[in-house]
Structure 1
Amino acid sequence: LIFLSGTIGLLFRSMAMAIVIALVTSQIIAVVVTPIFAMWIATRAKHFHRLPGERWLRRHYGRLLVAGMRRPWLAVPVVL
């Protein structure tokens, strides 16, 4: 859509750029931010919990993360 010429190209160019920017941003978050958040939540904390629900979040998210890694085939129905 970015490379269309004429009136159609003018109409769709901004929409195509918005889609490209959204996809690139989503990919960066999926590759960088999500694994960091997963490691931060799943690691056992040796310090006191500063946030009110942090202990609960760590415990439950850690269990789900480990269960998901042990059964990767379950990701297909979840994604669908």
Structure 2
Amino acid sequence: MGTGIIAKKFEVLPDNLKLKVEGYIDALLIENGISISDSAEHNSIAENKVLEIKPGFGGGKGIIGYMADDFDTPLDDFKDYM
């Protein structure tokens, strides 16, 4: 299938479906470790940085930017149940 046919099909989609298609393409690129650089337009891959997420414990290390110091402290709302 040529890119011209894909572009024609893409153009007739409503905007909300175009966003879904773009998200799917980004997911495929990330999954396969493909990085694209387009100077005319920013793509939704953050600065062309491909993150490799490994399944299991510690697989998301480096993805979460901030976690509060008291993250593990029990919530006051659940004192009656503890």
Q: Could you say whether these structures have the same fold, taking a TM-score greater than 0.5 normalized by the shorter chain as the test?
A: no
Q: How does the TM-score come out when normalised to structure 1?
A: 0.29
